[in-house]
Structures are given as structure tokens and as C-alpha cells.
Amino acid sequence: MIIHVIERLEALNDEIADLTNDKKTIMAEAKSDGFNPKAILHVLKLRKQGQAARVEEQNLFATYEAALGL
């Protein structure tokens, strides 16, 4: 029945909101411990990528930086 679908989706939305708040809390704790939130997010992105994608991205950045004399 549609009511069950709606209720399940509402429950998931509540869980997502709770998890989002948990993430904010953890990031605030990390920041208060002296960690850079932007760096943490970048590391999370890198860890999520595969090794090949990480190497490809690093090579692309190196090419652009070399072209710009950085």
C-alpha cells in the first residue's frame, strides 16, 4: 500500500537528517581539535576514489600547474 511506502520514505528522511547532523557535529569536533575541515573533505574524496582515478587527477593537476608555471 502507498501509505507504507510513504512512511518508509519519511523514516529514511528522518535518518538522513540525523546522519547529516552527526556529520556536522564530527566536523565541528575536528575543527575544534585544530583540523582543517576543507582538508578533511578533500581526504574523504580521495579515499573514495580508486587508485587509478586518484593518479589520473593528480597527473591532470600537475599538467595544468606546469602550464601555468605553478
The reply to whether 46 and 70 lie within a common domain is: yes
Task: Give the range of the structural domain holding residue 26, as residue numbers without chain letter.
Answer: 1-34
Q: Report percent pLDDT > 90 for the chain.
A: 100
Question: Residues 6, 13: contact at Cβ < 8 Å?
Answer: no
The reply to whether 26 and 11 lie within a common domain is: yes
The reply to whether 67 and 44 lie within a common domain is: yes
Rounded to an integer, what distance in angstroms lies between the CA atom of residue 39 and that of residue 36? 5
* Predicted confidence (pLDDT) per residue in 20-51, tens digit: 999 999 999 999 999 999 999 999 999 999 99
The reply to whether 26 and 41 lie within a common domain is: no
In this predicted structure, what is the pLDDT of residue 2? 96
The reply to whether 40 and 28 lie within a common domain is: no
The reply to whether 8 and 24 lie within a common domain is: yes
Q: Between the CA of residue 36 and those of 29, 33, 39, 44, what are the distances in Å? A: 11, 9, 5, 13
In this predicted structure, what is the pLDDT of residue 20? 98
In this predicted structure, what is the pLDDT of residue 7? 98
The reply to whether 66 and 54 lie within a common domain is: yes
Nearest to 30 by CA among 40, 22, 20: 40
Q: What pLDDT band is residue 60 in, cutting at 50, 70 and 90? A: very high
Domains identified in the chain, total number: 2
Predicted TM-score of the model (pTM): 0.72
